[in-house]
Amino acid sequence: MKAENLVADRRYGRVLYETAKEENKIEEIHDELNTLKEVFEDVPELGNILSDDRLEPFEKVDILHELEKDFSDTVAKFLRVIYEYGRMNELVEVINEYEFFYYQDKGILIADVTTAVEITSEQENALAEKIRVMTDSEKVILRKKIDPSILGGMIVNANHRLIDNSVTSRLKEMHKELLS
């Protein structure tokens, strides 16, 4: 993801979180966003469809209105803003940013962990504890993802810090060193 997209996603997530806080609807909005996130993860092409210039605007608006029906006014307005600014492809990332602020207020850190294979519960607990101590968080929640292409090791993204200790990354570094 481009740095400017990350900054924009973070800004949208923060504004939505602050709006939910002002409206005293943090939990309600969080639950709705989780539902919305599931929809976009279950139908990943939905973001592309709503961003596709080949579709007539009225067709995209019809799809958007169908989506909005199931959500509060706050989330519906949020969807319209994301749509109007052409960021539907980044909706899941914006929701992740909302979650970042949501959990941060609770003293909880979300860490995205990518491994080549499933990790055991013992490894998961040890990793969560290590991240908790490193970040001085009250609690750490791991969002796990399996990606065999990293070959081994892991990639941890916590508190917007990336630690890439994957075999693929280490091989690339070795390759660079051998060529220099």
The region, left, alpha or beta by phi > 0 then psi within -120 to 50, assigned to residue 19 is alpha
pLDDT tens digit sequence for 100-128: 999 999 999 999 999 999 999 999 999 99
Would you list the domain boundaries of the chain? 3-102, 107-179
Q: What DSSP state is assigned to residue 116? A: S
Write 20-25 long-range contacts (CB < 8 A, 24+).
Answer: 20/74, 20/98, 23/74, 25/72, 25/74
> For 49-87, what is each residue's pLDDT tens digit?
888 888 888 998 999 999 999 999 999 999 999 999 989
Side-chain-facing half-sphere of 79: CA atoms under 13 Å:
26
pTM over 0.85: no
* Architecture of the 3-102 domain: Orthogonal Bundle (1.10)
> So what's the architecture of 107-179 in CATH?
3-Layer(aba) Sandwich (3.40)
Question: Are 83 and 60 spatial neighbours (Cβ–Cβ below 8 Å)?
Answer: yes
